[in-house]
Copies of this chain bind each other. A is one copy, B any other.
Amino acid sequence: MADWLTSLKTDTPQEGFELAITLSRKGVGYTQTSPDVREKLRADYAESADSLTMASQVIAIHYQTVAAANNYWK
């Protein structure tokens, strides 16, 4: 796969959050490599509260990593 992640450093906590979202999606993308299938699945789970909560949880876990990497933007 082409380079998509060269650093965990971000300028702001919000950019770090968005990086956490990217990491979450990449975790899916390495397993389901078809963008078409992913798009179809997204349409489904975006209508399910529990699926959205689960997705939010993965983001939360990655955000712990990104925040630590940035020393919590202190």
Interface positions of A (Cβ within 8 A of B): 3-9, 12-14, 17-18, 21, 23-28, 30-32, 37, 41-42, 44-65, 67-69, 72-74
Contact = CB atoms under 8 A, between A and B. Distances in A.
Majority-rule SS of A interface residues: helix
Stoichiometry, as copies per complex, reads 6
Nearest to A16: B5
A61 B50 CA distance: 16
Contacts of A7: 13, 73
Given A7-B73, A13-B5, A24-B60, A54 B51 contact: no
8 contacts: A6-B12, A8-B67, A27-B59, A31-B46, A37-B47, A41-B52, A60-B65, A61-B61
